[in-house]
Amino acid sequence: MDSLDQIIDGAQADLQVYQRIRRAILSGQLRPGMKLQEPRLAKVLGCTRERVRKALHHLAHEKWLDIIPNKGVFIPVPSVQELHAIFEARRLIELGVTRQLAERSRLLDWQPFVSHVQQERIAAERNDRATVALLAAEFHFLLVESLHNPLIRDMHRGLMLRSSLHFSLYAPMNLQAGAGNGCAGPHEHEAIVQALSDGNGARAEKLMQRHLSQLEVLLAARKPKTEFPPLEDVFASLDAMPAHADEAMPAGDPCCAD
């Protein structure tokens, strides 16, 4: 029988493989429709095929991957129609949350939001796309969590998991350059926080409406990417960057993109 230490070590190794593959998806380097083969992933990640298989099934359960019987595991190709449906629902929830938070602005501590936006800016300046994707989603989670309504929180989490996939696959590769050209994205969060902390509900709601609408337009303007990069190059580039602190959170916790 395995010792407790062996079980813990195995679980930690499973988590690391899961996180590395998820980070590769968030980086945008794995193209829509790309097939992920267990043997090759196991070789690149230096682990067993069984460990890779566990991670792939976990990611498929979370809708980050598609498993097609008798064909394999693929990076999803989500439709534009789904994107519009997601953002329609997000607007209904997040605009209402924004109004409520503005009304409660004096009761809330906005420093965690200010610190969070600073982390986003640093990640964007490094063009660390995977970390930007994680932090961007976490910003919206923080807003909804601040309302302390578990029903709204749970509905929003489901939407954000799929929204994060669209962001990961279709947001610009160079996020810093995109921000300079007026591209919707995480750089707009700072103005939203300022309006909320000022208690200016009308401005906060207007900024959130514009932020979500521009992001929807950005992600709907898809350019087909048919060239699939070598997995070795993808993981080598990611390993050269420092991992986001929240990569240590348990698999399955919500941590996905704007």
Structure tokens at 192: 């939203």
User: How many whole angstroms from its chain centre is CA 136?
Assistant: 7
Per-residue model confidence (pLDDT) at position 223? 73
- CB 72, CB 36: distance < 8 Å: yes
Per-residue model confidence (pLDDT) at position 238? 85
Predicted TM-score (pTM) above 0.85: no
Per-residue model confidence (pLDDT) at position 76? 95
pLDDT tens for the chain, residues 1 to 258: 455 345 557 888 899 999 999 999 988 889 999 999 999 999 999 999 999 999 999 999 999 999 999 999 999 999 999 999 999 999 999 999 999 999 999 999 999 999 999 999 888 888 888 888 889 999 999 999 999 999 999 999 989 989 999 999 998 877 655 555 445 566 789 999 999 999 999 999 999 999 999 999 989 988 766 678 889 999 988 887 765 544 433 333 433 346
The DSSP output letter for 128 is -
Residue boundaries of the structural domains of the chain:
4-77+225-248, 80-220
Per-residue model confidence (pLDDT) at position 250? 34
- CB 195, CB 203: distance < 8 Å: yes
- CB 110, CB 196: distance < 8 Å: yes
Assigned architecture for domain 4-77+225-248: Orthogonal Bundle (1.10)
Cα(138)–Cα(183) distance, integer angstroms = 19
- CB 36, CB 74: distance < 8 Å: yes
Which residues are 35's β-sheet partners? 74
Print the SS3 string covering 50-100: HHHHHHHHHHHHCCCCEEECCCEEECCCCCHHHHHHHHHHHHHHHHHHHHH
Cα(197)–Cα(67) distance, integer angstroms = 44
The fold for domain 80-220 equals Four Helix Bundle (Hemerythrin (Met), subunit A) (1.20.120)
Which residues are 72's β-sheet partners? 68
Vertex 15, ends 186 and 33: CA angle to 5°? Answer: 60
Structure tokens at 44: 């690149």
- CB 33, CB 75: distance < 8 Å: yes
Structure tokens at 117: 């936006």
> Which strands sit side by side in the sheet containing 35-36, from one edge to the other?
35-36, 72-74, 66-68
The DSSP output letter for 5 is H
- CB 191, CB 205: distance < 8 Å: no
Per-residue model confidence (pLDDT) at position 226? 66
Per-residue model confidence (pLDDT) at position 1? 45
Q: Quick check: helix, strand or coil at residue 35?
A: strand
Q: Kindly report the backbone phi and psi dihedral angles of residue 74, in degrees, each rounded to the nearest multiple of 5, phi listed first.
A: -135, 150
